[in-house]
Structure 1
C-alpha cells in the first residue's frame, strides 16, 4: 500500500510513527508528507513527542526529504495538494482537519491519487466508515471519512451490546483528554466552557459522536444520547455507557456474554485488570472494555466502561481502513 500523508499534526505524525515502528505495517510505503510548517519544526516534533516519548532514531531533513530509520520520505509544504503529483498513490491520508468541503477533500484525487481517507468527520465524504460497526458500507467510495476517535470507540461497542441484549436506549459520556481545540489559558472560543484553560479544569461539553452514531448505526438512530467531559490529561480517554436493554439479562451471565461478543470484534479489547488511563497509552484497539467496571442494575439496565487512546487507536484505524480501501481494488 502506497500512501501520502497530508497534514503532519497529531494524527499524521502518529500514523507515520506506527508505520516506522510496528512490523505489521512493513508493507506500507509513504510516498510523501505534506505540511505547511517548516521542515526543521516537523522533524523536531516528530522525533520528540510529549505524549508517546522520543523516537528511538534520529530524524533529519535535507534536500526536501524527511530522513528517519533508513527511510527518505519526500517532504512538501504546499497549501494546495493539487500542486503535487500523486499518481501511484493508493490513498491520501487527509489529516489537515480542514477537508470539510468537496473542493478540499477531493484535492488528492485531482492530484492523481486513487482515494482519500479523512481523519475526522466531514460532510464532503461519500461514506463515513467505522471498523467493527459499519465497514460493510465502504463500497466503491473514493472519499471516505474515518469518523472521530470517540465514534470509533462507541459505535463498535454499541454494535456488540445490541447483539448481546438489544439496546432500547443508552446514554454515553466520554471522559476525554484535552486537545488543541481548547486553550491552555482562558481565551475566547465558540463555546464558553471550552474557552477555559483545558489543563486546569474539567470541562463539560458536547461530542460530534452522537450525530455520527445515528449515521453509522441507523438501526439505533434516535435511541442513543451522549455528552463529553474534557479532563486535564494529555492522552487516553474513556467511554462510560449506561444502556437499557430490550431483554432481561442475568447479572452473573452478562459479563461473559459481553466478553464473548467483544472477543469476536476486530477492534475491541478487554481487560480484567484495575487499570488507569496511562496504562492504555499506545493501545491500538478502538476501545478496551474494563471488565471490573461492568454493572447490571435490575434486569435490563447495564453500565459498560472502556478506555481508548484517542490518538494511537484512531491512527491505527486510519491505516486499517486505508488497507481495506486498497484491498477492494486488488485484482
Structure 2
C-alpha cells in the first residue's frame, strides 16, 4: 500500500468515527442539556469534517494533533452516566487522562472527572428563561442566532420576542431574510419561516414575536406571555441607568446592554468579573468588543508578570456608524468613506479597563484606527511588565492559559504563520493571541490579539446572559485556577 493509500484509509476511518460521534453528541445535548466541547469549542450540531478539523486544531495549541480515536472512548463513557446540565470538554478529559498515572480505566476516570455533574450533585433543569432582544442589527441578529442554537432541550434561554421600530412594506420578511443570510457570517444553520398574520418569525421551531415600538413605554410584554425576561438592548440608544431603566416594565426582570455602560452601570467582561454581579442587579453592560478583547489577556499577563503600564492600539473593522461615502458625521473623521479610508478615531476600551479590572493600578492608554474590512479586528497591546521575561516563556504561559485556565473560553491561541483577519470570522473567543507576531524584550511585551468584533463579542454577551439567568452550566473537567 502506498503512503497516499494509507493516508486516505486513515482519513476514512476517522470520518467513520466522527460520524458515530454525532448522534451521541446530539442526544446528550437534546435530552440532558449536556454540551460536548473540544478544547472549549462546541461539537454540537457540527459536521463530520468540522469535528475532524476541531480535533486537528488542537495541534496548534497543544503541540500535537488530537485524534477522534482518543476522544471517542470518553464520549462513550459519558453515555453510561446519569448526567445533569453541564459542559464537558472531551479534549481536556483525554489530556488529563494521559497525564494521570493511577492506571484507571477510561470509564472510571471519566466518572470521577465529571462527578460534579452526576447523581445527587447534578443541576436540575429549570423551566428556562425568557429573553427579549431590543433592536435587531448586527449584534442583535448574531445574538438571536446563538440563542436559537443554544435552545437545546428548551430548558435554557428562550428567545421570545424582538422589538424593532416600524418599517415599511414587507418589513417582517426583510428582517427574517437578514437573519437567514449574512454576507459575513454565512447562512443561518436551520430553517426560518415567517407568519405575517401573527408577526412571528419561526426559526428552528422557535417562535419569535416581532413587536413594533418606537419607545420601551409602548410595549406590554405580559400581553405576549413574557415573564421575568432578560432584555438585551443592542441599540446603544440608552447607556446610563436612567435610560436603561425604561425597559424595566412588567415582564422584564433584567436589562443587558451590548455597549459600554455609563455612570454606575457595571461593565462586565465574562471570565474576568462576571462573578461580581450582584443577584439583585437589574441593569448591566457587556462593555465593548475591544474591552472584551484586551481585558482577559491583560488580566492573564498581570496575574503572572505584573503590569506597570500599557497602551492598546486597535486596528478595527468599519461599522455601521460610519459612512459608505463622504457625508456629514458628528465625529471629526468618521464621516469620511469607511470602505476607502483608514480612519483615526478614539476608543473607550482603555478607560473601560478600570471598571472591569479595578485591582489593576497600571495606567492604560488607547487609540484606534478604523480600516476597510467588514469584520475582525486586531488589538496591539504593548505592556511594561514588573519583571523581565522571554518570548518563549510568555507564549508557553498564554498557550497554557488558553487550554487550562478559567479564561480558556475567552483567550484562544494560534501559531499559524500565515493567519490573516478573515481566518477568525466566527471565532467564539473574545481574543486570539497571535504567537508569531508576539514581541518580548526584557520587561516589554507586545501582544497581537485578533478578535471577531461581531461574533466573538456576541458570544461574550450570551455568556453574561447565561450567568445572570442561572443557566450557565459548569464545565468539566474543572479548569485549573
Q: Which residue does the alignment assign to 2:125?
A: none
Contact 2:425–2:452, Cα closer than 8 Å, also in 1:
yes
- Measure the CA separation in 2 of the matches of 1:116 and 1:317: 15
- Measure the CA separation in 2 of the matches of 1:25 and 1:280: 29
Q: Which residue does the alignment assign to 1:85?
A: 221
Residues 196-215 of structure 1 aligned to structure 2 (within 5 Å): 196-215=336-355
**How far did 1:41 drift?**
2.5
Q: Which runs of 5+ in 1 are unaligned?
A: none
Contact 2:378–2:448, Cα closer than 8 Å, also in 1:
yes
Q: 1:85 to 1:23 in 2, by over 3 A?
A: closer
Q: Which residue does the alignment assign to 2:306?
A: 166
Q: 1:39 to 1:286 in 2, by over 3 A?
A: same
Secondary structure of the corresponding residue to residue 252 of structure 2: coil
Q: 1:104 to 1:42 in 2, by over 3 A?
A: farther
Q: 1:173 to 1:108 in 2, by over 3 A?
A: same
Q: Which residue does the alignment assign to 1:19?
A: 147
Secondary structure of the corresponding residue to residue 155 of structure 1: helix
**How far did 1:24 drift?**
6.5
Q: 1:172 to 1:9 in 2, by over 3 A?
A: same
Contact 2:310–2:362, Cα closer than 8 Å, also in 1:
no
Contact 2:239–2:259, Cα closer than 8 Å, also in 1:
no
- Measure the CA separation in 2 of the matches of 1:251 and 1:267: 21
Q: 1:318 aligns with which of 442, 461, 465?
A: 461
Output the aligned Cα RMSD.
Answer: 2.1
Q: 1:24 to 1:329 in 2, by over 3 A?
A: closer
Which sits farther off after the overlay, 237-246 or 14-23? 14-23
Residues 179-198 of structure 1 aligned to structure 2 (within 5 Å): 179-198=319-338
**How far did 1:68 drift?**
2.2
Give the number of equivalent residue pairs.
329
1:243 matched to 2:383? yes
TM-score (norm. length: structure 2): 0.65
Q: Which residue does the alignment assign to 2:163?
A: 34
- Measure the CA separation in 1 of the matches of 2:250 and 2:164: 16
Secondary structure of the corresponding residue to residue 143 of structure 2: helix
Contact 2:333–2:343, Cα closer than 8 Å, also in 1:
yes
- Measure the CA separation in 1 of the matches of 2:157 and 2:414: 30
Q: 1:39 to 1:196 in 2, by over 3 A?
A: same
1:73 matched to 2:208? yes
Q: Which runs of 5+ in 2 are unaligned?
A: 1-128, 474-481
Q: Which residue does the alignment assign to 2:274?
A: 135
- Measure the CA separation in 2 of the matches of 1:139 and 1:93: 18
TM-score (norm. length: structure 1): 0.93
**How far did 1:80 drift?**
2.3
- Measure the CA separation in 2 of the matches of 1:262 and 1:223: 25
**Deviation readout 1:145-170 (Å, 9 max, x if unpaired):** 00000001111111001112111111
Q: Which has the higher helix share?
A: 2
Q: 1:300 aligns with which of 431, 443, 464?
A: 443
Considering only CA atoms, is the larger Rg found in Structure 1 or Structure 2?
2
Q: Which residue does the alignment assign to 1:278?
A: 422
Secondary structure of the corresponding residue to residue 252 of structure 1: helix
Q: Which residue does the alignment assign to 2:135?
A: 7
Which sits farther off after the overlay, 99-108 or 243-252? 99-108
Contact 1:65–1:74, Cα closer than 8 Å, also in 2:
yes
Q: 1:204 to 1:24 in 2, by over 3 A?
A: farther
**How far did 1:8 drift?**
0.7
**Deviation readout 1:137-189 (Å, 9 max, x if unpaired):** 21131101000000011111110011121111111111100001110001121
- Measure the CA separation in 1 of the matches of 2:436 and 2:284: 36
Q: 1:25 to 1:303 in 2, by over 3 A?
A: farther
Secondary structure of the corresponding residue to residue 246 of structure 1: strand
Moved over 4 A (4+): 22-26
The higher relative CO (CA closer than 8 Å, separation ≥ 6) is in 1
